[in-house]
Amino acid sequence: MERAADISTGDEPVVRLNNVGVRYGRGLEALSDVKLTLEPGSFHFLTGPSGAGKSTLLRLIYLAQKPTRGLVTIFGIDAARASRRSLAALRQRIGVVFQDFHLLSHLSVFDNVALPLRIGNAPLKSYREDVEELLTWVGLKEKMDANPETLSGGERQRAAIARAVVGKPEIILADEPTGNVDHEMAARLMRLFVQLNKLGSTVVIATHDLDLVREIGAPVMRIENGRLTMNAAMTPAAESE
Protein backbone atom coordinates (compact mmCIF):
# COMPACT_ATOMS: atom_id res chain seq x y z
CA MET A 1 0.00 0.00 0.00
CA GLU A 2 1.31 3.42 -0.94
CA ARG A 3 1.20 6.53 1.23
CA ALA A 4 2.99 9.88 1.37
CA ALA A 5 6.57 9.56 2.60
CA ASP A 6 6.04 11.54 5.76
CA ILE A 7 6.69 9.28 8.67
CA SER A 8 7.18 10.50 12.20
CA THR A 9 7.83 8.74 15.48
CA GLY A 10 7.83 11.74 17.76
CA ASP A 11 11.64 12.06 18.10
CA GLU A 12 13.33 15.13 16.62
CA PRO A 13 13.74 14.14 12.95
CA VAL A 14 17.25 14.22 11.52
CA VAL A 15 15.93 15.10 8.06
CA ARG A 16 12.79 16.96 7.17
CA LEU A 17 11.74 18.07 3.71
CA ASN A 18 8.51 20.01 3.37
CA ASN A 19 6.93 20.79 -0.02
CA VAL A 20 10.34 20.71 -1.60
CA GLY A 21 10.71 21.32 -5.31
CA VAL A 22 13.88 21.32 -7.41
CA ARG A 23 13.97 22.68 -10.93
CA TYR A 24 16.99 22.79 -13.24
CA GLY A 25 16.86 25.79 -15.53
CA ARG A 26 13.41 26.31 -17.02
CA GLY A 27 12.58 22.62 -17.39
CA LEU A 28 10.15 20.48 -15.44
CA GLU A 29 10.69 20.03 -11.72
CA ALA A 30 13.16 17.20 -10.99
CA LEU A 31 11.54 16.91 -7.58
CA SER A 32 8.05 18.05 -6.86
CA ASP A 33 6.24 18.62 -3.55
CA VAL A 34 8.47 16.24 -1.66
CA LYS A 35 7.57 15.67 1.97
CA LEU A 36 9.96 13.51 3.91
CA THR A 37 10.79 13.00 7.55
CA LEU A 38 13.59 10.68 8.64
CA GLU A 39 13.78 9.79 12.30
CA PRO A 40 17.07 9.06 14.05
CA GLY A 41 18.08 5.43 13.66
CA SER A 42 15.74 4.72 10.76
CA PHE A 43 16.74 2.65 7.73
CA HIS A 44 15.22 3.27 4.30
CA PHE A 45 15.79 2.21 0.75
CA LEU A 46 15.22 4.69 -2.04
CA THR A 47 14.18 3.16 -5.32
CA GLY A 48 12.92 4.37 -8.66
CA PRO A 49 13.89 4.39 -12.30
CA SER A 50 17.03 6.14 -13.53
CA GLY A 51 16.56 9.90 -13.78
CA ALA A 52 13.58 9.84 -11.43
CA GLY A 53 15.29 12.16 -8.92
CA LYS A 54 16.99 9.80 -6.45
CA SER A 55 20.39 11.48 -6.70
CA THR A 56 18.79 14.94 -6.51
CA LEU A 57 16.98 13.95 -3.32
CA LEU A 58 20.22 12.63 -1.80
CA ARG A 59 22.06 15.82 -2.87
CA LEU A 60 19.46 17.86 -0.98
CA ILE A 61 20.02 15.78 2.14
CA TYR A 62 23.81 15.95 2.03
CA LEU A 63 23.55 19.68 1.45
CA ALA A 64 25.24 19.76 -1.95
CA GLN A 65 22.19 21.43 -3.44
CA LYS A 66 19.55 23.90 -2.36
CA PRO A 67 15.88 23.43 -3.22
CA THR A 68 14.14 25.77 -5.64
CA ARG A 69 11.27 25.93 -3.18
CA GLY A 70 10.21 24.39 0.10
CA LEU A 71 11.99 23.75 3.38
CA VAL A 72 14.92 21.40 4.06
CA THR A 73 16.01 20.96 7.66
CA ILE A 74 18.89 18.71 8.68
CA PHE A 75 19.29 18.02 12.40
CA GLY A 76 16.69 20.75 12.91
CA ILE A 77 18.68 23.40 11.03
CA ASP A 78 17.16 25.16 8.03
CA ALA A 79 19.65 24.40 5.25
CA ALA A 80 18.71 27.52 3.28
CA ARG A 81 19.53 29.82 6.18
CA ALA A 82 22.56 28.02 7.54
CA SER A 83 25.93 29.73 7.25
CA ARG A 84 28.72 28.11 5.24
CA ARG A 85 30.36 27.18 8.52
CA SER A 86 27.20 25.49 9.80
CA LEU A 87 26.70 23.64 6.52
CA ALA A 88 30.24 22.25 6.73
CA ALA A 89 29.63 21.21 10.35
CA LEU A 90 26.40 19.48 9.30
CA ARG A 91 28.17 17.67 6.45
CA GLN A 92 30.63 16.24 8.97
CA ARG A 93 27.67 14.42 10.53
CA ILE A 94 26.65 12.90 7.20
CA GLY A 95 28.51 10.10 5.41
CA VAL A 96 27.89 9.81 1.70
CA VAL A 97 28.71 7.03 -0.77
CA PHE A 98 28.72 8.72 -4.15
CA GLN A 99 27.80 6.90 -7.31
CA ASP A 100 31.01 8.18 -8.93
CA PHE A 101 32.99 7.60 -5.71
CA HIS A 102 34.71 11.04 -5.55
CA LEU A 103 38.00 9.44 -4.54
CA LEU A 104 41.10 11.63 -4.87
CA SER A 105 43.49 10.05 -7.34
CA HIS A 106 46.69 11.47 -5.82
CA LEU A 107 45.96 10.02 -2.38
CA SER A 108 46.27 6.39 -1.34
CA VAL A 109 43.21 4.37 -0.42
CA PHE A 110 44.13 4.83 3.24
CA ASP A 111 44.37 8.61 2.89
CA ASN A 112 41.09 8.77 0.98
CA VAL A 113 39.28 6.80 3.66
CA ALA A 114 40.90 8.82 6.46
CA LEU A 115 39.94 12.15 4.84
CA PRO A 116 36.81 12.84 6.95
CA LEU A 117 38.86 12.25 10.12
CA ARG A 118 41.84 14.20 8.88
CA ILE A 119 39.82 17.35 8.22
CA GLY A 120 38.90 17.37 11.90
CA ASN A 121 42.62 17.87 12.59
CA ALA A 122 42.76 14.70 14.67
CA PRO A 123 46.28 13.20 14.87
CA LEU A 124 46.89 10.21 12.62
CA LYS A 125 47.66 7.89 15.51
CA SER A 126 44.21 8.50 17.00
CA TYR A 127 42.39 6.96 14.02
CA ARG A 128 44.95 4.92 12.15
CA GLU A 129 43.85 1.65 13.69
CA ASP A 130 40.16 2.33 13.00
CA VAL A 131 40.87 3.12 9.34
CA GLU A 132 43.09 0.09 8.85
CA GLU A 133 40.61 -2.17 10.56
CA LEU A 134 37.76 -0.84 8.45
CA LEU A 135 39.79 -1.31 5.28
CA THR A 136 40.55 -4.86 6.36
CA TRP A 137 36.84 -5.40 6.93
CA VAL A 138 35.86 -4.22 3.45
CA GLY A 139 38.57 -6.42 1.92
CA LEU A 140 41.02 -3.67 1.00
CA LYS A 141 43.76 -4.45 3.52
CA GLU A 142 46.25 -5.29 0.78
CA LYS A 143 45.30 -2.23 -1.23
CA MET A 144 45.40 0.47 1.42
CA ASP A 145 48.55 2.05 -0.02
CA ALA A 146 47.37 1.72 -3.61
CA ASN A 147 46.30 4.58 -5.80
CA PRO A 148 42.50 4.51 -6.36
CA GLU A 149 43.05 4.61 -10.11
CA THR A 150 44.63 1.16 -9.93
CA LEU A 151 41.54 -0.32 -8.22
CA SER A 152 38.65 -2.10 -9.88
CA GLY A 153 35.18 -0.52 -9.80
CA GLY A 154 34.13 -2.74 -6.93
CA GLU A 155 37.24 -1.93 -4.92
CA ARG A 156 36.71 1.79 -5.42
CA GLN A 157 33.15 1.40 -4.30
CA ARG A 158 34.28 -0.34 -1.13
CA ALA A 159 36.82 2.40 -0.50
CA ALA A 160 34.08 5.00 -0.98
CA ILE A 161 31.85 3.15 1.47
CA ALA A 162 34.68 2.92 4.01
CA ARG A 163 35.25 6.68 3.71
CA ALA A 164 31.53 7.37 4.18
CA VAL A 165 31.25 5.35 7.37
CA VAL A 166 34.68 5.83 8.96
CA GLY A 167 33.59 8.82 11.05
CA LYS A 168 30.51 6.95 12.36
CA PRO A 169 28.20 9.60 10.92
CA GLU A 170 24.67 10.14 12.19
CA ILE A 171 23.27 9.92 8.66
CA ILE A 172 24.60 7.57 5.98
CA LEU A 173 23.48 8.14 2.41
CA ALA A 174 24.54 5.70 -0.27
CA ASP A 175 23.87 6.06 -3.96
CA GLU A 176 23.94 2.57 -5.53
CA PRO A 177 26.57 1.34 -3.06
CA THR A 178 26.57 -2.24 -4.30
CA GLY A 179 26.30 -1.62 -8.04
CA ASN A 180 29.85 -2.78 -8.83
CA VAL A 181 30.37 -5.67 -6.40
CA ASP A 182 29.40 -9.33 -6.46
CA HIS A 183 26.48 -10.60 -4.41
CA GLU A 184 28.64 -11.90 -1.60
CA MET A 185 30.43 -8.56 -1.16
CA ALA A 186 27.10 -6.71 -1.55
CA ALA A 187 25.65 -8.74 1.32
CA ARG A 188 28.78 -8.05 3.40
CA LEU A 189 28.55 -4.31 2.75
CA MET A 190 24.86 -4.29 3.57
CA ARG A 191 25.64 -5.97 6.89
CA LEU A 192 27.99 -3.07 7.56
CA PHE A 193 25.19 -0.58 6.91
CA VAL A 194 22.80 -2.58 9.11
CA GLN A 195 25.35 -2.71 11.92
CA LEU A 196 25.92 1.04 11.74
CA ASN A 197 22.16 1.52 11.73
CA LYS A 198 21.91 -0.58 14.87
CA LEU A 199 24.53 1.68 16.43
CA GLY A 200 22.23 4.64 15.78
CA SER A 201 23.01 5.92 12.30
CA THR A 202 20.11 6.85 10.05
CA VAL A 203 20.63 5.08 6.73
CA VAL A 204 19.21 5.80 3.28
CA ILE A 205 20.33 3.60 0.41
CA ALA A 206 19.39 4.38 -3.16
CA THR A 207 19.40 1.19 -5.18
CA HIS A 208 17.95 -0.72 -8.11
CA ASP A 209 18.76 -4.05 -6.47
CA LEU A 210 15.38 -5.29 -5.30
CA ASP A 211 16.87 -8.57 -4.03
CA LEU A 212 18.92 -6.53 -1.60
CA VAL A 213 15.84 -4.55 -0.57
CA ARG A 214 13.96 -7.75 0.12
CA GLU A 215 16.86 -9.27 2.01
CA ILE A 216 17.12 -6.36 4.44
CA GLY A 217 13.40 -5.77 4.69
CA ALA A 218 13.59 -2.05 5.47
CA PRO A 219 10.91 0.49 4.42
CA VAL A 220 11.17 1.63 0.82
CA MET A 221 10.76 5.16 -0.50
CA ARG A 222 9.96 5.20 -4.18
CA ILE A 223 10.55 8.16 -6.38
CA GLU A 224 9.03 8.47 -9.81
CA ASN A 225 8.75 11.55 -12.00
CA GLY A 226 10.06 13.64 -9.14
CA ARG A 227 7.37 12.54 -6.70
CA LEU A 228 8.17 10.61 -3.56
CA THR A 229 5.98 7.89 -2.09
CA MET A 230 6.47 5.53 0.83
CA ASN A 231 6.00 1.79 0.49
CA ALA A 232 5.79 -0.75 3.25
CA ALA A 233 8.93 -2.78 3.83
CA MET A 234 9.57 -5.38 1.16
CA THR A 235 10.43 -8.67 2.76
CA PRO A 236 10.56 -12.15 1.34
CA ALA A 237 7.55 -12.91 3.52
CA ALA A 238 5.61 -9.84 2.40
CA GLU A 239 6.34 -10.67 -1.21
CA SER A 240 4.99 -14.19 -0.90
CA GLU A 241 1.73 -13.01 0.63
How many Å separate Cα 173 from the centre of its chain? 1
Which C-beta is closer to another protein: that of 26 or that of 125? 125
Distances (CA, A) of 107 to 98, 103, 111, 126, 150: 17, 8, 6, 20, 12
At closest approach, how far in Å is the CB of 115 from another protein? 5
At closest approach, how far in Å is the CB of 229 from another protein? 28
Which C-beta is closer to another protein: that of 28 or that of 89? 89
Which C-beta is closer to another protein: that of 100 or that of 241? 100
Considering only CA atoms, which of 23, 45, 50 is closest in space to residue 34? 23
DSSP 210-240: HHHHHHH---EEEEETTEEEEEPPP-HHHHH
Packed helices 153-165 and 109-118: angle between N→C axes, nearest 10 degrees: 20
Which C-beta is closer to another protein: that of 108 or that of 229? 108
Which C-beta is closer to another protein: that of 35 or that of 188? 188
> What is the C-alpha separation between 166 and 182, in angstroms, rounded?
22
At closest approach, how far in Å is the CB of 64 from another protein? 7
The answer to whether the beta carbons of residues 102 and 66 sit under 8 Å apart is: no
At closest approach, how far in Å is the CB of 201 from another protein? 15
At closest approach, how far in Å is the CB of 197 from another protein? 20
* Residues of the shown chain interacting with another protein in the complex, contacts defined by CB under 8 A: 62, 64, 84-85, 88-94, 96, 98, 102-104, 106-108, 110-111, 114-116, 118-119, 121, 124, 128-129, 132-133, 136, 141, 163
